[in-house]
Amino acid sequence: MATLSELGTGARVAGPLLVLEVAPRTLGSHPATVLTLGDASARLPTAPFWSDARQRVAGLRPGDVVEVVGRIGAYRGRRQLEVETIQRVASDLVDLRTLLPTVGPVEPYWSALDQWRGDIRLPGLARVLALFYDDPAFRRRFEICPASLSSHHAALGGLLRHTYEVAAVGRTLAELAGADRDLVLAGALLHDLGKLESYTWEGRFDLTEAGALLGHVVLGARMLDRRVRQTAEGSCSARELDILLHLILSHHGKLEFGAAVPPATLEAEILHYADDASAKSASMVEALADPGNFGGEEGLSVRGIWQLDGRRLYRRGAEWKAPNAERPPSRG
């Protein structure tokens, strides 16, 4: 079966998909159930299962794998899956990772991050980072964890790619601003540690209990504090630890955006904007690539994109011609 992202209106669907959401709804005065199904390329809502058909999806839960036959339809300009048959598949018969989005090979991201980490001039800072990044078990989890559940870098390996992007942007900004580039790099490597304890990615991306209660910012600060305090050789002083904790706690920039405190150092300010640049540009790339956001060949999206503050987006076309393209005649 072609991937969901490749299928246009009218295309047939036949194959396994992952149940991402099961949403009871009342449309008008009629009860219905709408599923959100997905594969590694995209997620797609189903047409409503009305009262007489709701028994066909009764008992389905997020994380289930289902064998689906149907076709791609459309409602108010948005694609939806019109299901003809749907049946739960035993989870041990399908490799769930084949149905989850992935960033692909992770070696290039590790290579760059390890090289930059090896260039750090301050031994104490390098030792703190090594507490995590020299740990094989940590690296195995870090390289597969998503960076979000449904927003930016919501893919296996998304956290590693996002961390690489934040580090790349942050190091450049630090050099331009005369900030401590090593400290900004440390902030990039540490800022989203808490997502390892906030998210699960077995079957579907979801919050853990700790993630729901505390959030990844607090969890990340707690992970760093615990690891440093458990280290016999004393990786850093109490003040140095506070500076690193501040990078984690302030990286969302404002309290209303999830920061525990606003940035109070130049390095924390740079880290916040590097993090935001990675997240927003990735969300823009994903939104522009989603055919469900656009009507046919139209350049302007048919709706505002929630990940991008409700903005409508524009897909550039062939407005800029190649250098050897025909030029307008000279006026002189």
- DSSP at 135: -
- DSSP at 48: P
* Whole-number pLDDT of residue 317: 64
Structural domains for the chain? 4-97 (2.40.50.140), 101-285 (1.10.3210)
Q: Alpha-carbon distance 263 to 270, whole Å?
A: 9
Q: Is the dihedral of CA 128, 134, 137, 138 positive or negative?
A: positive
* Whole-number pLDDT of residue 95: 79
How open is the CA angle 270-275-278, to the nearest 5 degrees?
A: 125
Q: Walk along the chain (332 residues) and give the pLDDT tens digit of each residue.
A: 678 888 888 999 999 999 999 998 887 778 899 999 999 888 899 999 997 788 889 999 998 999 999 999 988 777 899 999 999 998 778 877 788 999 999 999 999 999 999 999 999 999 999 999 999 999 999 999 999 998 899 999 999 999 999 999 999 999 999 999 999 999 999 999 999 999 999 878 999 999 999 999 999 999 999 999 988 666 789 999 999 999 999 999 999 999 999 999 999 999 999 999 999 999 999 888 887 788 777 889 888 888 888 899 998 765 666 666 555 554 44
* Whole-number pLDDT of residue 320: 61
* Whole-number pLDDT of residue 30: 83
Distances (CA, A) of 165 to 151, 181, 224, 248, 330: 16, 15, 21, 16, 44
Question: What is the Cβ-side half-sphere exposure of residue 294, based on CA atoms within 13 angstroms?
Answer: 17
Token pair 């048959």 is at which residue? 85
* Whole-number pLDDT of residue 324: 61
* Whole-number pLDDT of residue 332: 42
